[in-house]
Structure 1
């Protein structure tokens, strides 16, 4: 095991908020696996089981530091039987995603990081506020992963008409309503395509 892999768990426990920016490698690489997570974090810190999924579903996931809301990482696999072929991993609040995306950022801040506008889904449903990046700096990351975020509005000012940013519809990051409701990142994740669709 390399020195870098040995130090990673220590960094997770001691780094200040938003200091550790992960890359699409090691535990977060396309060829990651449950076995690799155990090798990096220790068997006592890794647990695989059924967790809640979107729209009332359940799914299998491997969690690192499962009992700590501040440090918990959730890995979901394309190959659930072998627990390989990483589908996506949800990052904890104290981690920064590839490209510098982190919890609490505004839409405008993420757009500035990306260097280009992007599209997110309207709020108020299970996939509400989700955004990926088809163009810009966040769309072409080393290691072949994709970074995604979910935004949530902090408040709806009284009398503000927000229908155009609610529901299953595309919303442009340039929409001024997103600033008026103070939409902020409340989830950062890294994902990979299904093995059948990889180049």
Structure 2
């Protein structure tokens, strides 16, 4: 995987130019708001409340907040100092470690993982979230890990989707996933809390 270099130049380029994001530089575990400003420019960095899970809000720093094709949201373990990356989102056209990106089918993610994986059923708050255990995409201990959520596409109105609906775990080998055209909808890279590990 080629490294992402010259971060500002690549991400300021036309949206058609995709980048391979690696967990280094501005994307490293020890990054900070100050490092993001240095890399992307003060005018392209905004820190404030953003929507969180289940109707909550969380503090995050957003890169290119006015350009959805390039927007990257950073959450912090140290919200007061805006330091130590907890997570960051991956823009639609970019590729995360492991080759994960938006638009991949379940079968394509299986190929990257080297075999089947589990994911939560759809049509609820945590629907479509993948669970990688034991495969190539399993979270490495102490390093950055990539998580994805799938969304369903168009499917016949009379198709019974009960087998992939609700708070349950299903296998990526479930045939219904192909029939509903399930594809990666969001990609997020996360880090464990290094300060907690030191305690």
Q: TM-score, normalised by structure 1?
A: 0.90
| SS at structure 2 position matched to 1:21 | coil
Deviates more, 1:136-145 or 1:95-104: 136-145
Q: Which residue of 1 aligns with 2:77?
A: 78
| 2:137 corresponds to 1:138 | yes
Deviations 1:130-183 (A, max 9, x none): 114222222256981100111000023232211121111111111111111000
| 2:19 corresponds to 1:29 | no
Deviates more, 1:168-177 or 1:132-141: 132-141
Structure 1 pair 17–198 and aligned structure 2 pair: CA distance change class (3 A): farther
Q: Distance in 2 between matches of 1:132 and 1:66?
A: 29
Q: Distance in 2 between matches of 1:30 and 1:85?
A: 6
| SS at structure 2 position matched to 1:35 | helix
**What 5-or-longer segments of structure 1 have no aligned partner?**
none
Deviation at 1:15, TM superposition (A): 6.3
Deviations 1:5-54 (A, max 9, x none): 98211112336647311111111111111111111111111000001111
Structure 1 pair 157–197 and aligned structure 2 pair: CA distance change class (3 A): farther
Structure 1 pair 143–10 and aligned structure 2 pair: CA distance change class (3 A): farther
Cα RMSD for the two superposed structures: 2.2
Does structure 1 retain, via aligned residues, the 8 Å contact 2:33–2:61? yes
- Equivalences for 1:69-108 in 2 at 5 Å? 69-108=68-107
Q: Which residue of 1 aligns with 2:181?
A: 182
| SS at structure 2 position matched to 1:55 | helix
Structure number with the higher helix fraction is: 1
Q: Which residue of 1 aligns with 2:153?
A: 154
Q: Distance in 2 between matches of 1:159 and 1:133?
A: 31
Does structure 1 retain, via aligned residues, the 8 Å contact 2:10–2:17? no
Q: Which runs of 4+ in 1 moved over 3 A?
A: 15-19, 140-143
| 2:168 corresponds to 1:169 | yes
Aligned residues: 196
**What 5-or-longer segments of structure 2 have no aligned partner?**
none
Deviates more, 1:154-163 or 1:136-145: 136-145
Structure 1 pair 176–198 and aligned structure 2 pair: CA distance change class (3 A): farther
Does structure 2 retain, via aligned residues, the 8 Å contact 1:21–1:98? yes
Deviates more, 1:160-169 or 1:137-146: 137-146
Q: TM-score, normalised by structure 2?
A: 0.90
